[in-house]
Amino acid sequence: MLYSLRCCYRHIAQTKRAVNLPSLKKDTRLPVILNQSELKELFAYPSLLKQCIVLSLIYSTGLCGQEVINLKISVINFECKTIHIRQSKYKKDPIEPLSDNIAVGLKKYLTLKNLMSSCSMARNPMDAKALKGSAG
């Protein structure tokens, strides 16, 4: 509030009324950029395919953690290799590019996930019958 008043007084050329406050310093630190060996170490850590895919998505597209959590399969366009982020920061809906390697990894993960769910349905036919009955 005081800084706003000081700015206002300076703007209307009443420097005598302007409060003498220290200037606000801007953060001059540079962002941390990982080198190639640090990246290899980072991507070697996850053991599950799902973890590798999430980490790759965050790193390559710059998505925030919450954006990855809210991500739906329907917003991924494998033909155009894009991801349509819904309601991201600042209420924008950006379209992010999807690299070839991540697209292949996502397809592989989704295929394995579908196989696992179909195998679990085959093991327990009661669940499959219950699912069919509730769907129709």
3 inside domain? no
22 inside domain? no
Tokens 């769910």 sit on residue: 117
Question: Mean pLDDT for each 10-residue chunk of the chain (136 residues)?
Answer: 61 60 70 87 86 87 84 90 82 86 89 81 52 45
Structure confidence at residue 130 (pLDDT)? 44
Q: Residues 56, 98: contact at Cβ < 8 Å?
A: no
Residue 124's domain comprises: 35-135
Structure confidence at residue 29 (pLDDT)? 78
Structure confidence at residue 136 (pLDDT)? 43
15 inside domain? no
Q: Residues 61, 81: contact at Cβ < 8 Å?
A: no
Distinct helix (H) and strand (E) counts, the chain: 6, 3
Which CATH number belongs to the domain containing residue 46 in this structure?
A: 1.10.443.10
Structure confidence at residue 37 (pLDDT)? 93
Structure confidence at residue 79 (pLDDT)? 92
Q: How many domains does the chain have?
A: 1
Structure confidence at residue 82 (pLDDT)? 92
